Amino acid sequence: MSKQEFFSIRGGIPLRGEVKVSGGKNAAVAVIPAALLANSPCTIENLPDISDVHVLIDMLEWLGAKVTFDGSTMTVDPTTVSRYNPPYELARKMRASYYLAPVLTYRFGRAEVPMPGGCDIGARPIDQTVKAWTALGADVNTQRGVLTVTGEPLHGADIHLDMPSVGATINAMLAAVFAEGATTIHNAAKEPHIVDLANFLGSMGAWVKGAGTDIIRIRGGRPLHGSTYAIIPDQIETGTLMIAAAATGGDVVITDAIPYHMESLSAKLLEMGVYVHDEDDRIHVRGEGLLRGINVKTQYYPGFPTDLQQPMVSLLSIAGGTSVVTENIYEARFRYVDELRRMGANIRIVDRVAIVDGTDRLMSAPVTATDLRAGAALIVAGLIAEGTTEIANAHFIRRGYEKIDEKLRHLGAQVEWYTREVPD
Active site (catalytic) residues: 119
Question: To the nearest whole angstrom, how small is the minimum distance from the Cβ of residue 10 to ligand EPU?
Answer: 26
Categorise residue 74: left if φ over 0, alpha if ψ from -120 to 50, beta otherwise: beta
What is the full DSSP assignment across 297-337? Answer: EB-STTSB-HHHHHHHHHHHTTSBSEEEEE--S-TTTTTTH
- Could you say which of 15, 19, 23, 26 contacts ligand EPU (CB under 6 A)? 26
Minimal CB distance to ligand EPU: which residue?
A: 167
Q: Interface residues for ligand EPU in 81-100 (CB under 6 A)?
A: 95-96
Residue 312 interacting with ligand EPU (CB under 6 A): no
The answer to whether the beta carbons of residues 65 and 89 sit under 8 Å apart is: no
**Nearest residue to 378 via CA among 349, 419, 341:** 341
Q: How far is the CB of 192 from ligand EPU (least distance, A)?
A: 11
Polymer length of the chain: 424
CA 322 to chain centre: 29
Contact pattern from residue 259 through residue 288 relative to ligand EPU, giving x for each residue in contact according to CB under 6 A and a dash for the rest:
------------------------------
Of 45, 53, 59, 44, the closest CA to residue 25 belongs to 53
Q: Where are the beta strands (DSSP E) in 247-350?
A: 251-255, 275-279, 282-286, 295-297, 322-326, 346-350
Query: Is the Cβ of residue 128 or residue 148 nearer to ligand EPU in the bound state?
Result: 128
The backbone region for 118, taken as left when phi is positive above 0, alpha when psi lies in -120 to 50, beta otherwise, is left
Q: What are phi and psi of 253, to 5 degrees?
A: -110, 120
When binding is defined by CB under 6 A, the residue of 126, 140, 149, 274 that contacts ligand EPU is 126
Alpha carbons 117 and 292: distance in angstroms, whole number: 37
Binding segment toward ligand EPU, per CB under 6 A, in 35-43, 125-133, 248-256, 402-410: 125-133
The 320-359 contact track toward ligand EPU, x by CB under 6 A, reads: ---------xx-----------------------------
User: Which range touches ligand EPU (CB under 6 A), out of 1-9, 159-167, 216-224, 361-369?
Assistant: 159-167
Q: Which residue among 51, 85, 129, 314 contacts ligand EPU (CB under 6 A)?
A: 129
**The binder of ligand EPU chosen from 124, 282, 335, 410 (CB under 6 A):** 124
Stretch that binds ligand EPU, among 105-113, 145-153, 163-171, 237-245 (CB under 6 A): 163-171
Q: Does 163 bind ligand EPU (CB under 6 A)?
A: yes
Task: Number of residues interacting with ligand EPU: please give it, by CB under 6 A.
Answer: 28
Q: Name the maximum alpha-carbon separation found in the chain.
A: 62
**Any idea what DSSP says for residue 22?**
P
Reduce the DSSP state of residue 362 to 3 states and report it. Answer: coil
Under the criterion CB under 6 A, does residue 404 sit at the interface with ligand EPU?
no
CA atoms of 2 and 229, how far apart (whole Å) = 41
214 in contact with ligand EPU (CB under 6 A)? no
Segment holding 353, helix H or strand E: strand 353-357
- Residues in contact with ligand EPU by CB under 6 A are 25-26, 29, 95-96, 119, 123-129, 163, 165-168, 189, 236, 305-307, 329-330, 372-373, 400
